[in-house]
Each structure stands twice: as C-alpha cells, then as structure tokens.
Structure 1
Amino acid sequence: MGRIITFLVLLITTAITAQNSEEAQVKLAVDTFFEGFHKGDTTLMKSVMIDKFLTQTTYKDKEGNGMLVNEDSSKLIQAIANRPADQKWDERLLDYNIQIDGTMAHVWTPYEFWFNDQFSHCGVNSFQLFNDSGNWKIIYLIDTRRRKGCQE
C-alpha cells in the first residue's frame, strides 16, 4: 500500500512538473516576442513566430459597433522594423493565462500600451502557439483595444 501511494505521488509530481515546464516554455516564447517588440529586434520576434500568420484587432467604433481589422504578421514586423528611433512603444503585460493541450497552447495576456511614456490604451492579447519539434511558435494573434475601463 505504501509503495502504491509513493508511486502515485511521484506520478502526480512528475506530471505537474512537466506541465509547469511547458508553461514556462510557452511564456518564454511570448516574452521573447515582446522583448523583440520593445527593442525593435524583428529577428528576435521572428525566432518565436511562424513565417506568416493572421493578426487581428477588435474594438468598438464611436457608435459602439464591433470592428475587426485583419492583417498579415509581416505588416507588424514592418512596423517594428521601421519604427522611428524617437518612438518608445511599451506594451506592459499584466498577467498570463496559459492553456496547453499537446502541441497547441493558448496565452491570454491583459495589457496596457504606453507610447513615449504616455498611456495610450489597454486590452487583451490572445496568442495561439504551436509546438514545432520542441519549439513553441506563435501562429495567431488577436488583440482588443480600448481607452476606457483600464487600470492605468
């Protein structure tokens, strides 16, 4: 009986450790993306992205209607690469909610965006990632943007 309990405790501990390790790797991919974003280092960003994927932004227009903007990830990369040196973009992630199932992960990150040290907007990023032979890669990104209801 004691051996069975010991075995079960080891099995559960191993499973929790493996899950925490995967979550850490997924979080690292998102953190690497934003490290590149803040530094203007598109090579670093691309290291955790597949070649091209859809990026979307959703928000409410002045009349309160839902809007959805679709873009290719290359447009984001171009914006980062061509950002003027006098512009500081600071996207502050407030939390991470990471869910993983096999080779797929979802990361939900509420954020505040600051432009040249001035609050601009807040929202949530929703990342989809794929485990490509042990490397987590961002395959999809959608975010919300709003100026009201923020924590700043």
Structure 2
Amino acid sequence: MASSAPTKTPSKDQGRPAQRQTTTSLPDEVQILNVVNKFLGCINKKDRFTMLSLVLTSGAATLIRRGAPVHLSLEAVVNRIPVDSKVDMDEQIYNSTVHVDGELGVAWTPYVFYEDGRLNHTGTNIFNLWKMKDRGWVITGIADIAREVDDKAFDAFGEKEAWEKAQEPKDEQSAGGKA
C-alpha cells in the first residue's frame, strides 16, 4: 500500500542519531491498523482510559445484533466494556483492508471473538478514522456486525437476557412473557 507520509528522522546537525521510526514515519495504513489493534487490545485489558484516547467520544457506532441495529456514541461503546468481569475477551482481526484519502481512513476488519479461549462470535468491523494534527489517527465511527456461534454469544456484554427474550415466540413477548 502506498503512502504519501514523509519519513522523518533526526538530522545529524540535531546532535543525535536516528533511532527508530516514529509513528508519523510509518505508512498511514500501518498507523491505522496500529490504532485499531490497540483499541481492540484494550477490550481484553479492560482499559477504557486508553480506548477513550483512541476515539472521538462523540463519534458514532452502529452495532448489528440479532438482525437489529444498535446506535451508540463511541463513548458508550467503550463504557460497555465490562471492567469488573473476569472473562478473558480477545477480538482478533484478519484479512484487513485499509483505504486512505488524505486525512480520511477506513479499515475493514473481519474478526473472531473469543471468551476464555472459546469462540464466541464472528463478524466484521468497519472503522472510520480521521488524521488529526494534534493526535494522529483517531476512530470517528464504527460499524460492526456480529454472528452468534451459539446461545452463549454476547454473555460478556450482559446481553444473554436480551438473547433469551428474542428467542421467545412473538405472542409471548407481547403478553409480557406469559403464555
């Protein structure tokens, strides 16, 4: 993938040798995937603070769950991470595609999501990013679709009740769950 980002290394007249590439000297596509991977890595670490530093909190997310969209701010998405949970959560992306147009970037990232080492669900994320002058690439929007593996999917996010309710016949739901 081509990048228009110039390589920045200290010059000899600055009195110090070049050490390693800075974040800004990496191609934009690599920088974007670094942000996405850092964000997803924070799920397992349950590190909301770092996650918030990687997003515009007023940005938007659309999560497709059981065929229905859930619209949230990115701050609300981050706050869904169950920091007190002992469940090991690991979202792994693969075959990612990144496109960049100046300060606008998008990453298409199919994924698998594991809980305590067991496959929980699969899906695809679409991350929209903006390259800010003072912060670098930040996530401004997320679209996510998740496909359940079984009835235990989404337990880590406290959605088991909603899943069970969705499995009830429609007439039971309208009657308050009583047949």
Output the TM-score relative to the length of structure 2. Answer: 0.64
103-112 vs 71-80, which moves further: 71-80
Q: Which has the higher helix share?
A: 1
**1:67-78 residue pairs with structure 2 within 5 A?**
67-78=68-79
**1:49-60 residue pairs with structure 2 within 5 A?**
49-59=55-65
Structure 1 counterpart of 2:95, one-letter code: D
Structure 1 counterpart of 2:91, one-letter code: E
Structure 2 counterpart of 1:100, one-letter code: V
Structure 1 residue 76: Cα displacement: 2.1
Aligned residue number for residue 143 of structure 1 = 144
Query: Which structure has more RCO (C-alpha within 8 Å, separation ≥ 6)?
Result: 1
Q: 2:22 aligned with 1:16, yes or no? A: no
Provide the secondary structure at the position in 2 that maps to 1:16: coil
Provide the secondary structure at the position in 2 that maps to 1:38: helix
Structure 2 counterpart of 1:28, one-letter code: N
Percent identical among aligned pairs is 23
Give ranges in structure 2 of 5+ residues lacking alignment. 6-25, 150-179
Mark the CA change 1:69 to 1:102 in structure 2 (over 3 Å): closer, same or farther: same
Structure 2 counterpart of 1:16, one-letter code: A
Aligned residue number for residue 48 of structure 1 = 54
Q: 2:40 aligned with 1:34, yes or no? A: yes
Q: 2:102 aligned with 1:116, yes or no? A: no
Query: Over aligned residue pairs, what C-alpha RMSD do you find?
Result: 2.1
- Listed one character per residue, the Cα deviations across residues 95-123 of structure 1 (whole Å, up to 9, x for unaligned) are 21000001100100000111122211100
Distance 1:70 1:53 in 2: 11
Distance 2:79 2:2 in 1: 40
Distance 2:85 2:115 in 1: 13
Where does structure 1 differ by over 4 angstroms across 4 or more consecutive aligned residues? none
